[in-house]
């Protein structure tokens, strides 16, 4: 399946935020969207999902304009995990994951045994079956993020949009969540995720998009797109890209390191 954004413009009221964003992705890719705070990453996601009407351009799925799709068709095709998800849910995690099945149910239907089975399978995929009866409000931040990913998986979409999926997670949980994301992509789920870490693009993405002031200023393979020059310009900060050799003889990976003697002002 191919998701295509063509000349997407969107904004809030009279303020235009996105100015002609175009790219394509396949449901086998991991796309990492990098850009400074306020660049328009979350706005772009809301535009794709139809939460925000496009003022120009369109989003196509296998050539079909998705702006006319029903909410449930949209949910069956594109899953979404928003940026801030501090939900005061007093629900068991299994119930939250079951909510992902809503898009597959008839208007008045309640979840069936099959739905429950699919929700349990989603928990299993993320190795968190043991949490199924725990209260969402009483599990850790990393576990909550995995529960939200499980909910999106139960939805069984072709694409999953994740807005800063590792935000607020400790280092171990960041790695855990990213590894799960990578495994899901290998199993045929297209992932579009926003991140603040160029390293995530180097390690996990097949393609990277750079966005600044509502415009894409780079798109392509991480090696060709997340270059020192482009990242310097993207974040207004001097940085170096180094090649780190992996101990276990598994080749090398690029890493982003701030340049020393940095006197840039924060934005
Ligand atoms: P990012 O996710 O890249 O940090 P956003 O898409 O959230 O950026 O925001 C892009 C711009 O849109 C910012 O200038 C922000 O202030 C503005 N913005 C975001 N949400 C709203 C809103 N609900 N109403 C008005 N302006 C908004
Ligand atoms: Mg955002």
pLDDT value of position 90? 82
For 248-258, write each residue's pLDDT tens digit.
777 888 999 98
* Number of Cβ atoms within 10 Å of the Cβ of 106: 7
Place of tokens 């992509």: 185
Cβ 200 under 6 angstroms from ligand 1? no
Residue 196, CA distances (Å) to 40, 92, 94 in order? 13, 31, 30
Q: What is the average pLDDT value for the chain, to the nearest integer?
A: 90
pLDDT at 100: 87
pLDDT at residue 267, as a whole number: 46
CA of 244 to the centre of ligand 2 (A): 29
Asked if residue 166 has its Cβ within 6 Å of ligand 1, the reply is no
Ligand nearest to the backbone CA of 165: 2
Q: What is the pLDDT of residues 54-94, one digit of tens each?
A: 999 999 999 999 999 998 899 999 999 988 666 666 889 99
pTM of the model: 0.92
Structure tokens at 143: 């576990």
- Confidence class of residue 262 from pLDDT cuts 50, 70 and 90? low
Measure the CA–CA gap between 75 and 32, rounded to whole angstroms. Answer: 21
What are 231-244's pLDDT values in tens digits? 999 999 999 999 98
| Percent of the chain residues past pLDDT 90, beyond the cut | 66
What local confidence, expressed as pLDDT, does residue 101 receive? 87
Residue 171 Cα distances to 33, 168, 264, angstroms: 20, 9, 26
Shortest CA distance to 160 belongs to which of 111, 129, 122? 122
Cα gap 157→164, rounded to integer Å: 19
Q: Is there an atom of ligand 1 within 6 Å of 12 CB? A: yes
How is residue 226 written in tokens? Answer: 């997340």
Closest CA to 179 of 143, 203, 151, 213: 203
Q: Span 2-221: which CATH code?
A: 3.40.50.300
């Amino acid at each position: 399946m191919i998701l295509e954004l063509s000349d997407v413009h969107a904004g809030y009221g009279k303020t235009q935020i996105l100015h002609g964003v175009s790219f394509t992705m396949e449901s086998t890719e991991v796309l990492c969207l990098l850009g400074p705070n306020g660049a328009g990453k979350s706005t772009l996601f809301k535009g794709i999902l139809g939460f925000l009407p496009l003022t120009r351009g369109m989003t196509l799925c296998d050539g079909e304009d998705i702006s006319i799709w029903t909410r449930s068709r949209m949910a069956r095709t594109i899953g979404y995990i928003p940026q801030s998800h501090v939900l005061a849910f007093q629900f068991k995690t299994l119930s939250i994951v079951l909510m992902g099945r809503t898009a597959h149910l008839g208007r008045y239907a309640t979840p069936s045994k099959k739905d429950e089975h699919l929700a349990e399978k989603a928990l299993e995929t993320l190795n968190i079956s043991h949490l199924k009866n725990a209260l969402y409000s009483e599990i850790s931040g990393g576990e909550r993020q995995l529960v939200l990913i499980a909910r999106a998986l139960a939805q069984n979409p072709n694409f999953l949009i994740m807005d800063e999926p590792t935000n607020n997670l400790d280092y171990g949980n960041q790695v855990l969540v990213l590894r799960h994301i990578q495994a899901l992509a290998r199993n045929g789920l297209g992932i579009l995720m926003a991140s603040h870490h160029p390293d995530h693009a180097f390690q996990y993405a097949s393609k990277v998009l750079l966005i600044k002031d509502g415009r894409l200023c780079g798109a392509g393979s991480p090696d060709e797109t997340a270059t020192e020059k482009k990242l310097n310009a993207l974040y207004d900060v001097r940085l170096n890209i180094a090649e780190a050799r992996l101990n276990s003889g598994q080749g090398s990976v690029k890493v982003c390191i701030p340049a020393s003697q940095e006197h840039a002002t924060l934005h």
